[in-house]
């Protein structure tokens, strides 16, 4: 496909086009890319805003919640005048103001065992901004079955982590999935959510921006992928640590003798899906 930028696009994406690792062909690739963002909350906000600004052509947003005043301390895609508005609609308003050329697909629903594979299969990559272990495991499993690269982020109090999972044929088959690191969700109530334990608002920007960077790297196929690593950030100590992780042959999803072969494990009632 040849490059066919408008003059406005050349100006808008000039700083990308100047980068040898991106250039016109890379920017064209971004414009043709499709990313699904699960959660328009603390992590989803900076992810969505930076992907919109970067020119990722199609953004899908999954969230069934409405904007609450307590969200505004960290969910910067929303504003005070949009309290009570559906988060997907509020986010769309902000993203169109950043870049009116985007195609936005709004999924005002929860991601569930019944719709996860259908949702993911329409996108090149999925990123997880949920605030719920059950949802994180569901997204991981659906990403594995649909062979969709997953960039995952998590935050609590003053700590955050980012990882990329794509251990399927054509991806990084030696890398882990989320279950290789965390085998199963902890018992309900054992690990508090942000709404229960709190979170430093600006931390969401740090982790969400890292997610956006890793997403762009994956779409452009540049740099070193985070697949095979878990990046951990301690905001109070201002310290980053990178832990190397490998595929676990005993993993119930991607191991040598998998016991999870579909999403039926997620069909029983569990925690409600929250999105940060």
Distance (Å, whole) CA 28 – CA 57:
9
Note the pLDDT tens digit of each residue in 122-174: 999 999 999 889 999 999 999 999 999 999 999 999 999 999 999 988 899 89
Q: How many domains is the chain built from?
A: 1
66 falls within a domain:
yes
Q: What is the dihedral of CA 167, 224, 42, 54, to 10 degrees?
A: -110
4 falls within a domain:
no
Note the pLDDT tens digit of each residue in 86-114: 999 999 999 999 999 999 999 999 999 99
10 falls within a domain:
no
CATH (domain of 182): 3.40.50.720
275 falls within a domain:
no
* pTM metric for this prediction: 0.95
Query: Which residue intervals of 37-175 are DSSP H helices?
Result: 44-54, 87-98, 116-120, 133-146
pLDDT at 238: 98
pLDDT at 268: 65
190 falls within a domain:
yes
**273 pLDDT band (50/70/90 cuts)?**
very low
Query: Which residue intervals of 32-184 are DSSP H helices?
Result: 44-54, 87-98, 116-120, 133-146, 178-181
- Closest of 70, 99, 98 to residue 83, by C-alpha: 70
Distance (Å, whole) CA 83 – CA 93:
13
Note the pLDDT tens digit of each residue in 36-77: 999 999 999 999 999 999 999 999 999 999 999 999 999 999
Burial of 34 by CB count in 10 Å (0-12 exposed, 13-18 middle, 19+ buried)?
A: middle
Whose tokens are 């009116």? That residue is 100
Question: Collapsing DSSP states into helix, strand and coil, what is residue 162?
Answer: strand
75 falls within a domain:
yes
Distance (Å, whole) CA 57 – CA 272:
31
Q: Which domain holds residue 166?
A: 21-265
271 falls within a domain:
no
50 falls within a domain:
yes
pLDDT at 276: 54
């Amino acid at each position: 496909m040849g490059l066919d930028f408008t003059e406005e696009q050349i100006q808008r994406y000039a700083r990308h086009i100047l980068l040898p690792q991106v250039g016109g062909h890379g920017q064209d690739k971004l414009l043709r890319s499709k990313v699904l963002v699960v959660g328009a909350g603390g992590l989803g906000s900076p992810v969505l805003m930076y992907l919109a600004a970067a020119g990722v052509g199609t953004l899908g947003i999954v969230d069934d919640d409405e904007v609450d005043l307590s969200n505004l301390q960290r969910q910067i895609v929303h504003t005070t005048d949009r309290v009570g508005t559906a988060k997907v609609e509020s986010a769309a308003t902000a993203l169109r103001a950043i870049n009116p050329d985007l195609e936005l697909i709004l999924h005002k629903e929860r991601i569930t065992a019944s719709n996860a594979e259908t949702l993911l299969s329409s996108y090149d990559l999925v990123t997880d901004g949920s605030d719920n272990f059950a949802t994180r495991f569901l997204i991981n499993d659906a990403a594995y079955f649909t062979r969709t690269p997953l960039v995952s982020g998590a935050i609590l109090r003053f700590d955050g982590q980012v990882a990329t999972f794509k251990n399927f044929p054509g991806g990084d088959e030696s890398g882990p999935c989320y279950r290789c690191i965390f085998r199963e969700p902890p018992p309900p109530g054992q690990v508090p959510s942000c709404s229960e334990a709190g979170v430093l608002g600006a931390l969401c920007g740090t982790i969400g921006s890292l997610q956006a960077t890793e997403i762009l790297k994956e779409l452009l196929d540049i740099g070193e992928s985070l697949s095979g690593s878990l990046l951990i950030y301690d905001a109070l100590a201002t310290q980053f640590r990178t832990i190397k992780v490998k595929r676990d042959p005993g993993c119930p999803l991607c191991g040598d003798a998998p016991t999870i072969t579909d999403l039926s494990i997620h069909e029983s009632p569990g925690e409600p899906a929250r999105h940060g």
